[in-house]
Chains A and B, each alone.
Chain A
Amino acid sequence: MSLTSGRFSWLTVVAISASLAAGCSKSGLESSFVYSAKTDSLIPEAQSGIKGQAGVKKMVDDRFGNPQHLKAWSKLPIDFGGVTASVGETPSGKAVKEILLQFEEGITSPSGDAVSSVQFVGGAAAGETAAVLSWDAESGKATLVSALTGSPAQGDQVVIGGGEVIRNGRVLYQRHCSHCHGTSGDGAGPTAEYLNPRPRDYRHGVFKFTSTNSSSKASREDLSRILKYGIPGTYMPSFLLLKDDELYAIVEYVRFLAMRGEFERKLVTELSVDYSKASVADQTASGTKRSEIIEALTAFLTEDFSDVANSAGDELAEAWSTADTEEALVAPTVGRVADSPESRRRGRELYLSKCADCHGVSGEGNGPQTTIFEKLPDADALYPEAGLHDEWGNVTKPRNLTQGIYRGGRRPIDLFCRMNEGIKGTKMPAFKTVFSNEDVWHIVNYVLSIPFEAEPGVSPGSIAPATPVAPAAAE
């Protein structure tokens, strides 16, 4: 019932029409993807291309489309949606333009407008994706736009479909998510500006709360977990009662938007050194003619840009598919150390040595680091406001640990991940190089006890005070 198209062809982009039932038909107004501010910082020629060569915008649009007409770049590890079938009888002739398909029992033939492509999984045409001109659901006959290069044989596996998953994901996303996260996933929907903290901008491809190690992306499981349980302490609510396939579709669509944004960023990074407005201004000021720069740009766009795009795609595919593998998963080498007064005391000592800098001695998230002015990432200046800034340039307060609200989840493993691997995109570092796994568990035990302390550093009930050590008090 599904396909992982990343395995197949190199640069195959299939257009998927994803109009919302009426948003399109009722009026001409369509939603649109926006480009990042970094793209806007490029000179217009780099943004929009020159002399027929694609610039950043076209490069992105060609591979991702717009909300009404999404495109499936099969390189990416995204399940765009499709149905498996097999070739019914071996087509005769060399240039195959018509094929008959058969469906296994239990799989229904998709209706006409849902079919826009056929991808060959096995046989001589394996790896090919062909756009479908017309599809007859009754007989299973697909007429292709252009002839195949390989010739398929009877029984070859194919995946047909028009990206049901991504299309469904887009509809659901527009209904449930876009007013905060924005149509493009830029975290700037109409509601966003009123929320604290601001909704995630996925376009960096970075998600904070993951079960993967510090260098990996978020796994599907992580995103689905966030969708299901929400992020306590923020406006991200729980969508637990959406159906599983709906959650799945939303996750795929969010990954799609994340990859789109990341792809755009990668392209821009490639161009911004020489062709940002600021850099071009600098160059012309120092004597280089603007026409020379444009010439160089044209050459770059002509000769190298599609390779750049391809390798960017490969990097994305690699990174995002790795995130779903077991190697990326955080696995403590030791189990949780039993929660005991000693463990908590040890935890508190370690906490004071590192964590208190930000989270404060009493765990209220008010450590000394929160009052300094940080340096801006790409300028020789300071942020206008004090505090720790995240990747998106927002001030993030270190968590107040006394409230018992844990945004990334309250299971011990969740806290372990946060400490051992850090929180991606924020100033919370990975402590795996500093603390042993065992020590991390001590800190977890301590942190989980903070909300129940009678006063800072003093555990309640049967647990003895941290200092002075009173061995008898430990049961």
Chain B
Amino acid sequence: MKKFWAIFFWFWPVVALVLCVMAPSQGWWFPGPPGTQMGERIQGLFELILGIVTVTFIGTNFALGWVLWQAASKGDDKKAFYSHGSHSLELIWTIVPAFVLLFIALYQMDVWAEYRVQSFYPEETKQGSVAEFMARQFEWRVRYPAIGETLKDEAQPGDLYMVNELHVPAGRPVKINLRTQDVQHAFFAPQLRLKQDAVPGLIIPVWFDVPKAGNYDVTCAELCGWGHYKMKARIVVESQQAVDAYMRKLQEEQTEDGFVEEAAEEE
């Protein structure tokens, strides 16, 4: 019975590992390949940590099971090993993890800097943002500058509006101005592996570079009220021509006066 307990403590980590190995094939893993280069690097860092953690996980759990197994194998009257510890072991398991952890920390800095420190942003994003992405309870309001204009923080007469759908060109870094009209929200694009809170009172620039055209989900990741889960939007990444055509279509729609059709019929 005692050995049962040692096996019990070995059993669960094995189940966990099997589950993790199975996960990608079952769809319990990242939603698709990373959509951005940044996302790829983030996922790379994740995998690096996952590797280190898995080794540690296996090691410690094996050790835990093993010390229990060993104890279970011995008789009840066996005398315990009288020891207060080992100075050298303490040193080893302080210094080694310290270096590993420090390594992980330092290794991450570059990606973080590129993602968030404005002076590290790609050149292309410095000309301005392509759109304002404004969160509100419970949707994302998009405001583009008029064709040929640049985006201003304040609304301008020719601005183009859309909701829950952002069109951006593929293959070049673009920047959006993340804002919120009411409470705090967070912009979360799972396929792009990006997240940034939208904080009341702040305009936060977020940049990304999506090489592949396609639709990418956007959700809200900061509790924003009862309809938190309703904040479903998407980023449509397409060629520059398609974006230009889309903008023209938006402009056309937005100046719709309901008259053109009538005139055509009268002719």
Name A's B-contacting residues (CB within 8 A): 176, 191, 211, 229-230, 232, 235, 237-238, 240-241, 330-336, 404, 410-413, 416-417, 441, 448-449, 451-452
CA distance A55 to B27 in the complex (A): 55
Q: A241-B234, A335-B260, A335-B263 are in contact. Are A411 and B254 (CB under 8 A)?
A: yes
In the complex, the answer to whether A237 meets B155 with C-beta atoms within 8 Å is: no
| Seed contacts A237-B227, A410-B254; 12 additional CB < 8 Å A-B pairs | A176-B230, A238-B139, A238-B163, A240-B163, A240-B165, A240-B233, A336-B259, A412-B257, A417-B258, A441-B257, A451-B155, A452-B156
Q: How many residues of B contact A (CB 8 A)?
A: 29
In the complex, the answer to whether A230 meets B226 with C-beta atoms within 8 Å is: no
Is B40 interfacial (CB 8 A cutoff)? no
In the complex, the answer to whether A330 meets B230 with C-beta atoms within 8 Å is: no
Query: A399 → chain B, closest Cβ, in Å?
Result: 16
Interface string of B213-238 (1 = CB under 8 A from A): 00000000000001100111110000
In the complex, the answer to whether A230 meets B155 with C-beta atoms within 8 Å is: no
Chain B residues, Cβ within 8 Å of A451: 155
Q: A235-B137, A237-B139 are in contact. Are A411 and B164 (CB under 8 A)?
A: no
In the complex, the answer to whether A332 meets B139 with C-beta atoms within 8 Å is: no
In the complex, the answer to whether B258 meets A332 with C-beta atoms within 8 Å is: yes
In the complex, the answer to whether B165 meets A413 with C-beta atoms within 8 Å is: no
Which residue from B164, B227, B258 sits with its C-beta under 8 Å from A413?
B258
Interface string of B84-121 (1 = CB under 8 A from A): 00000000000000000000000000000000000000
CA distance A421 to B254 in the complex (A): 20
Q: A235-B137, A235-B227, A241-B232 are in contact. Are A413 and B257 (CB under 8 A)?
A: yes
Chain A residues, Cβ within 8 Å of B137: 235, 237
Q: A332-B258, A335-B259 are in contact. Are A452 and B157 (CB under 8 A)?
A: yes
CA distance A397 to B254 in the complex (A): 26
B263: nearest residue on chain A (CB-CB)? A335
Chain A residues, Cβ within 8 Å of B138: 235, 237
Is B76 interfacial (CB 8 A cutoff)? no
Chain A residues, Cβ within 8 Å of B257: 332, 335-336, 411-413, 416, 441
Chain A residues, Cβ within 8 Å of B161: 410
A414: nearest residue on chain B (CB-CB)? B256
Is B124 interfacial (CB 8 A cutoff)? no
Query: B160 → chain A, closest Cβ, in Å?
Result: 10
CA distance A332 to B260 in the complex (A): 10
Is B123 interfacial (CB 8 A cutoff)? no
Q: Can you name 28 A-B residue pairings with CB atoms under 8 Å?
A: A191-B226, A229-B163, A232-B141, A235-B138, A237-B137, A237-B138, A238-B163, A240-B163, A240-B233, A241-B233, A241-B234, A330-B258, A331-B259, A331-B261, A332-B259, A332-B262, A335-B257, A335-B260, A336-B255, A336-B259, A404-B155, A410-B254, A411-B255, A411-B257, A412-B257, A416-B257, A448-B157, A452-B157
Q: A235-B227, A237-B138, A449-B157 are in contact. Are A331 and B258 (CB under 8 A)?
A: yes
CA distance A331 to B141 in the complex (A): 29
Is B149 interfacial (CB 8 A cutoff)? no
Q: A240-B165, A411-B253 are in contact. Are A331 and B262 (CB under 8 A)?
A: yes
In the complex, the answer to whether A413 meets B254 with C-beta atoms within 8 Å is: no
Chain B residues, Cβ within 8 Å of A441: 257
Interface string of B121-155 (1 = CB under 8 A from A): 00000000000000001110100000000000001
Query: B162 → chain A, closest Cβ, in Å?
Result: 9
Query: A271 → chain B, closest Cβ, in Å?
Result: 39
Interface string of B176-191 (1 = CB under 8 A from A): 0000000000000000
In the complex, the answer to whether B262 meets A238 with C-beta atoms within 8 Å is: no
Chain A residues, Cβ within 8 Å of B258: 211, 330-332, 412-413, 416-417
CA distance A176 to B155 in the complex (A): 31
CA distance A238 to B256 in the complex (A): 21
CA distance A191 to B227 in the complex (A): 10
Query: B157 → chain A, closest Cβ, in Å?
Result: 5
Query: A172 → chain B, closest Cβ, in Å?
Result: 13
CA distance A370 to B138 in the complex (A): 29
Chain A residues, Cβ within 8 Å of B155: 404, 451-452
In the complex, the answer to whether A240 meets B164 with C-beta atoms within 8 Å is: yes
CA distance A330 to B257 in the complex (A): 11
Interface residues of B in 229-253 (CB under 8 A from A): 230-234, 253
Query: B247 → chain A, closest Cβ, in Å?
Result: 16
Chain B residues, Cβ within 8 Å of A335: 257, 259-260, 263
CA distance A101 to B243 in the complex (A): 48
In the complex, the answer to whether A237 meets B230 with C-beta atoms within 8 Å is: yes
Q: A191-B226, A335-B260 are in contact. Are A241 and B164 (CB under 8 A)?
A: yes
A194: nearest residue on chain B (CB-CB)? B226
In the complex, the answer to whether A230 meets B139 with C-beta atoms within 8 Å is: yes
B218: nearest residue on chain A (CB-CB)? A241
Query: B236 → chain A, closest Cβ, in Å?
Result: 11
B161: nearest residue on chain A (CB-CB)? A410
Chain B residues, Cβ within 8 Å of A230: 139, 163
A229: nearest residue on chain B (CB-CB)? B163
A463: nearest residue on chain B (CB-CB)? B157
A404: nearest residue on chain B (CB-CB)? B155
A337: nearest residue on chain B (CB-CB)? B257
Chain B residues, Cβ within 8 Å of A240: 163-165, 233
Query: A435 → chain B, closest Cβ, in Å?
Result: 16
CA distance A182 to B158 in the complex (A): 39
Query: A460 → chain B, closest Cβ, in Å?
Result: 9
Chain A residues, Cβ within 8 Å of B163: 229-230, 232, 238, 240
CA distance A241 to B234 in the complex (A): 8
Query: B189 → chain A, closest Cβ, in Å?
Result: 14
CA distance A411 to B253 in the complex (A): 7
Query: A180 → chain B, closest Cβ, in Å?
Result: 9
Chain B residues, Cβ within 8 Å of A211: 258
In the complex, the answer to whether B256 meets A412 with C-beta atoms within 8 Å is: yes
B255: nearest residue on chain A (CB-CB)? A412
Chain B residues, Cβ within 8 Å of A416: 257-258
CA distance A335 to B261 in the complex (A): 10
Chain B residues, Cβ within 8 Å of A449: 157
